[in-house]
Structure 1
């Protein structure tokens, strides 16, 4: 078992924010895992990687990285039995992260871990983001499950990182494709280095509208999380109710073979 870590990396203009992102990269470069660290870079700025330190590979892009970009690289670079971890550029992990993911990821069904961050406080202590179900900053899956991603599912994953609501859209798209969703933030700390408070997005962004999903923390490893579905819409028209269409779930259930038509 080895770990592949993929990070949509950028160089912030604000010096305080840039220092946080660079310190996070250096912390992850010091981990005993991952076997590979891939940086998806779209701003043309070279990350501060020491040539004598742990290797990291830069994947240059001409637009903002998406989840589909990360999954495509994971398919190319991973090996059977690997674990794939995707994290925002200001998220660091402890040395036990590979073993922690192995204990949390189910082995018998396609599953995505959606991990809520622990914010680093001025005191140095860590505090779980509240409410934890509304936001996640890291995602993980087994490399062996990458083959389960159909072309249609990969198309659904063209969700840009760093855009408001992207962390709600990602689990929604996986849920619609039949994957289990789990949030192990009660046991795994995705350490968020963002004391500066500098942000490059606005909560008024309308780039990602439609369905989203809140993934609650699961109390036990490999136990599916409780979920809440949400809809982001610009329409002022009242909605009487929102339901789950079970038609596709029903038609996929095994049943008797249809009688011949001749």
Structure 2
């Protein structure tokens, strides 16, 4: 991992990619295209990540047992919906064929000092999406800002059933950063290294991806990043991955501390 070349990093990143379309004007045609793009000449992406209303369509397009998993978002992007509404969203998404639920925690409540709101939301959604459904919790670290608060959000999510902790919705000014990643990966390590990590928003190049992969390998071990423990939430990253695997010029890194 730490000594891997660009093609190796690109191939690994492809296997870890949640190819994402959460645009406000997404169409059914765009979802079909996303499903098709997720199956590349170099292998499939780990998942697609889409709005709940498109899950059934994507399931029909990809089939019941395809290698590409279907992730969808709940309590997204605000994090402010009532627990019962989010549970209803989750139940419907799972019924429609979602393999993975990306839940925005009530991060504004946490910022106001209400840790119980996070506990209640994560616990309820975990119950509504039992294993083998994967539960990823979105902390919205760019809004939390404070390092201690990011660590608190990580600890609460892990303790109450999250399979992954994810940086961001991609809908705010500051999304994934290496600083937030460092805090979250250390929390995962201190909880035994069994929970996954997903940087989302702003990871656009193979060079960006390599920065996060190296950080994860340094904290949790060279063999730790795999689809069951590490994902990238991105829409544009696939373009640079394919350019690298095809031997075309890759872009410069953009990820920042």
* TM-score in terms of structure 1 length: 0.29
The structure that has the greater radius of gyration is 1
